Amino acid sequence: MLVDSPMDPLSDVLSLLKARSYMCGGMDLGGEWAVRFARHEGIKCYAIVSGECWLAMEGVAEPVHLEAGDCFLLPSGRPFTLASDLSLPAVDATTIFVRPLNGAIRTVNGGGGCFSVGGFISLAGNHANILLEVLPPIVHLRKEADKEAMRWSLERMRQELLNPQPGGSLIAQQLATMMLVQALRLHLAEGLGGGIGWLFALADPQMSAAIQAMHQTPAYRWTLQELAERAGMSRSVFALKFKQTVGASPMEYLARWRMLLAGDRLANSRDSVAEISLALGYESESAFSTAFKRVMGSSPRQYSRGSAAVAAEAVRSDEMELIAA
């Protein structure tokens, strides 16, 4: 059923995006080094276990100094460089990662200087931008409290990579996904002041209460007054603050969330359009189809056919990746 969600909004969105760890591993770098990574899709999530290095990203003015315990997310997909000294000429990462062996540790110059672990998180859902568009190009977690929260995951990842055991690759992938969720949670806890988007709104208890209500029962015929009451605010003040924080009105946000749920069900189930429209609280299939086309840009049936084609292409792509590995 689509009418009840036991999860929180962040979990809802990550589940809808089918976040999964596609590759994970570590780098043990020694001496003087600089490695350039090309543009990527999805989110890269890494942490420095020991040592230090610099991170420079295309389009970001200032480089970031990374120390042991620091965790960083790279959600924008922009090319970036990791280096002991950014003035050094950088080698292409593909010369180090010749074969994409999942769970492997790559050693450069004998290692011993900087050791990092992490993974590439693939977002298989059709609307990755609902997460990526609200994150900065670099999410850098460096507070001591943040490091402490990440320490267990980092140590487990390090042990899994250094001492391979049966099933270790799967454990490392799950740890990489957990690192992503922890990093987003810690980033959220910092307040995200001044940003606009649903993720920023979750840092506000009043806005979060309203968003939580819409996610828990998207089929309910929410009114602006009821959502304002959930937030403990007057209707006019709530409507203004929601628009300023989220970048959309409450009803616009609710409509978009319903259609994202509908799109996921169209792509990943055999439910009919009539069944989906009823589960989302629409009295008629035609009303649902009109709302769906307005938000998603195509009719439900066109969307379903397009999703099937995309899924088939994704399977072929994964097969080619496995063959290449």
CA distance 109 to 280: 57
Using alpha carbons, list the distances in angstroms from residue 197 to 146, 214, 226, 244: 23, 16, 21, 9
User: Phi then psi for 197, rounded to 5 degrees?
Assistant: 145, 165
DSSP H helical ranges for 84-143: 129-132
Banded model confidence at residue 6, pLDDT cuts 50, 70, 90: low
Q: Report helix, strand or coil for 57.
A: strand
Lowest mean pLDDT among 138-152, 185-199, 262-276: 185-199
d(CA 120, CA 97): 14
The model's pTM is: 0.71
Q: Where are the domains of the chain?
A: 19-189, 198-306
Enter the CATH code of domain 19-189: 2.60.120.280
pLDDT at position 126 is 62
pLDDT tens profile 121-131: 877 666 777 77
pLDDT of residue 323: 31
| Predicted pLDDT of residue 291 | 92
Q: What is the mean pLDDT of the chain?
A: 82
Instruction: Identify the pLDDT of residue 286.
Output: 92
Close Cβ partners of 54 (under 8 Å, ≥ 6 residues apart): 63, 64, 65, 66, 81, 82, 83, 84, 85, 86
Domain 198-306 bears CATH identifier 1.10.10.60: yes
Q: Residue 171 is which amino acid?
A: I
pLDDT single digits (tens) 187-243:
777 655 556 788 878 888 999 999 999 999 999 999 999 999 999 999 999 999 999
Give yes or no for a contact between 259 and 279, defined as CB atoms under 8 angstroms apart: no
Share of the chain above pLDDT 90, in %: 38
Q: Does the pLDDT value for residue 2 go beyond 60?
A: no
